Structure 1
């Protein structure tokens, strides 16, 4: 479980950001599609555990397994590239531009959504026996999650929107911390341990993750949740994406970059 010092793993963060910006469109879409699909499976797994055991903590503790697998497989989530891709531009790496960053974010968003939506359809088929009967208990639970985290926020107006945004910020503070924690170690076990706690924390605390929501809310609509596509976009996905961007880029990427990569000069003692 070899540990890398902050100056070493922050350099890896910048290198990773550069790699993602220079990746081909095909590879970016494939990797983001698979990331969205695997994270969606993790969310379905966690909700199923919670419903079947009545223990939400157990679901949250096991959810990080799929997150860890997708990162070990080299797949890309929007929340991670929000944090890493801009660092290559800040460091003025060759070929790294803001246009490239926005292109990468757009491609990863599309890939993540396609993968998560595919799993949403697959799980809706499973939960309803091919839409031939009413959703089972897990399907009903997912529908209620969609209602509570859309119309539940809208019922509180501006205060609800603020709460949603802050939950998005807090989410990617934790998720991106997990992504960076994987770079702290050179062993599989070390990477997994580093990722586990921040990912379990965000899930159990009910923070808003844009890619998890790409599964939960389309699933909820397919399973009869009492909310609309516009509710999902306005009162969850769009503010969550913005909150995830702010949380990951400011509290993780910018902070680590500024203090461990572009370190301020040491004080001179008179």
Structure 2
């Protein structure tokens, strides 16, 4: 009975920290082609979650908060596919900072992983935009989905740099916490439940996710009239949110948990 309970109990936070650290080492040293292919998948997965969010919030009469919550639950599709299906997502990979802080991987290895995965994520998003345009998903609801997509993109492009950055910090804090909680579970069900609350929360309250925005913004641009969405606003959003995501994931999650559980471990520099 004791063994059965041990198997089903979630990992303790200190164990999660060790698992995330070791996962960082494996990710940093994975084969480049494997990383890139899995990054393409992650970009597509997050885009599908973003598209589902767009459809859900279109012409909803349930009220602002409830509509955003339902949209956030739909968006969870993306990270569920990434975590359970297996893919490489830039924002989640900000947790590599734990392995770096433990001196198990080099700065060069971290930056190589981040750059390759970010590129793959972007291409996965843009490829999904092309497919969704070909499918004419924007025509659903007599064109209402397309209007929603344009409005979402325009609202993101009009955020100030500080707003976009701060929302990026908060977003990836919750995304990395979702990954962290999922690492504490044993079963697929555990991992899905761990993902639902943090991800639906960040979407509901309007935080910004850089990879999702590589779908939202190009999709809105493609649907809108030329000049309706400022390209400078699009570029500013993507830069500010990406930097904010890095700060949220590396400092507020990886950094804090490293300080709490892994700082000064005798084996931290011996691997």
Normalising by structure 2, we get a TM-score of 0.87
Map of 1:260 onto structure 2? 261
- Cα distance in 2, alignment partners of residues 180 and 263 from structure 1: 21
Map of 2:117 onto structure 1? 108
1:23-34 aligned at under 5 Å gives the runs 23-34=30-41
Q: Deviation digits for residues 222-245 of structure 1, max 9, x if unmatched?
A: 1016114332112x0000000000
- 1:198 deviates by 0.3
- 1:260 deviates by 1.6
- Cα distance in 1, alignment partners of residues 83 and 232 from structure 2: 31
Distance 1:125 1:136, change over 3 A: farther
Map of 1:231 onto structure 2? 233
Tell me if the contact between 2:97 and 2:255 (Cα under 8 Å) persists in the aligned partners. no
- 1:52 deviates by 5.1
1:30-179 aligned at under 5 Å gives the runs 30-51=37-58, 53-54=60-61, 55-82=67-94, 84-93=95-104, 96-127=105-136, 136-150=143-157, 152-153=158-159, 160-179=160-179
Could you tell me which runs of 5 or more consecutive residues in structure 1 were left unpaired when the two chains were aligned. Answer: 154-159, 265-270
Q: Deviation digits for residues 77-118 of structure 1, max 9, x if unmatched?
A: 110111x2222221122xx21011111110011000000111
- Cα distance in 2, alignment partners of residues 107 and 229 from structure 1: 24
Could you tell me which runs of 5 or more consecutive residues in structure 2 were left unpaired when the two chains were aligned. Answer: 1-7, 62-66, 266-271
Runs of 4+ in 1 over 4 A off after TM superposition: none
- Cα distance in 2, alignment partners of residues 128 and 79 from structure 1: 27
- Cα distance in 1, alignment partners of residues 68 and 54 from structure 2: 8
- Cα distance in 1, alignment partners of residues 117 and 231 from structure 2: 21
Normalising by structure 1, we get a TM-score of 0.87
